[in-house]
Amino acid sequence: MKPSRIGLATLVGLGIGLAGALCQYIGVFDTWGYRLTDRFFLPHQADQATIVVAIDDASLGRIGRWPWPRTVHADLVDRLSSFGVKAIGYDVNFPEPSDAGADARLADAVRRSGKVVMPVELDFNVVGDKLSFQAGRTVQPIAEIQSAAAASGFTNTPLDQDNIARRVPLFVRDAGGSIVHSFAYEIARLAGRAPTDAEVPTDHYGRFLINFPGEPGRSFRTVSASDVLQSRVDTSIFKDATVFIGATARDLHDYQNVATSRGEPMAGVEIHASIYDTLVSKRWLAPANRLLQALALLIVGLLLGLLVPRVRPRYSLLGVLILWVGWLVA
């Protein structure tokens, strides 16, 4: 091989590497990269003291059509509190008044428990390089119920560009500086298991990656809400447990695709339980440094430029595949 051809091939490889490095650094490959790394999730045992109480199809069949009277929710809170749970994340919003007596009954049950975290839904926007929210566009339970709760946190799970939930902010601020933590964080704090803000590795938007324990419906001990309400469950399992209550019935449409979905969406309540599991286990996931990824692509391009003109075409193709797959895995 003539030196001029080797030099030209090296320059071409370097140019390709530079182009790839630039695209990697500015995020052109992000969505594709996220989908690839989704395949690298390894299942692990979820926190054993976390229980999902599911408003499932069986519950709707036994208790009645949705929405349930708020006295039913009050009964559920009373029962779980009497079982000795540490914290209850109630992933059901009550933004409108219903029957005054039923609203008061639910508020009394929540206040009496002292262990209930209620949800709020925020309107996120980007201010500078941080996520923020508009305080006037918050959807939350009516004041009577909200004020009775031990805490409240946002239940938003923002989606990436490919409509998959992978990361969530630890907290967000409004224009006035008021801070709202995530629903799962407030539950962890109430249970006495929350990490400090400084412990959580976040990106420039203040988000951290959710380390999902496994595929949808296969990670957490799950009990039907109707079994709790109708005394069909061993109450000892709830002693010192953290309980997440929310919809899993398909007709209630509280599902999103997540990193471990494999084509099957995950119920919102299980997403919050997975966020909680990440926080209390401190199994942090941190993306590789973007600059290092760009440098790796530059090196791959340069190596290809040096390799291809020196070997036979079939071997150069094999070399390209080895380098490419090696970069992806790394």
Who's near 330: CB < 8 A, 6+ residues apart? 296
Tell me how far CA of residue 264 lies from CA of 5, 76, 216, 257, 300, in angstroms.
51, 29, 7, 7, 35
- The pLDDT of 314-324, averaged and rounded, is 62
Looking at residue 47, its pLDDT comes to 94
Tell me which residue of 187, 178, 180 sits closest to 150, measured CA to CA: 187
Q: Is the dihedral of CA 107, 109, 112, 114 positive or negative?
A: negative
Please tell me which residue, 134 or 165, carries the higher pLDDT value: 165
Most confident of 10-24, 45-59, 131-145: 45-59
3-state secondary structure of 26: helix
Question: Given this model, what pLDDT does residue 160 score?
Answer: 87
Instruction: Quote the pLDDT of residue 25.
Output: 45
Higher pLDDT, 328 or 150: 150
Cα–chain center distance at 87: 19
Task: Report residue 229's pLDDT band, with 50, 70 and 90 as the boundaries.
Answer: very high
Question: pLDDT by residue (tens digit) across 66-75?
Answer: 999 999 999 9
Whether 36 contacts 209, CB under 8 Å? no
Could you tell me what percent of the chain has a pLDDT over 70?
A: 75
Give pLDDT, residue 279. 98
Whole-model pTM: value is: 0.83
- pLDDT confidence of residue 145: 98
CA 326 to chain centre: 29
| HEC secondary structure over 153-212 | EECCCCCCCCCCECEEECEEEECCCCEEEEHHHHHHHHCCCCCCHHHCCCCCCCEEECCC
pLDDT at 289: 61
Higher-scoring residue by pLDDT: 83, 39: 83
Question: What pLDDT is recorded for position 1?
Answer: 45
Q: Is 28's pLDDT higher than 50?
A: no
Structure confidence at residue 64 (pLDDT) = 96
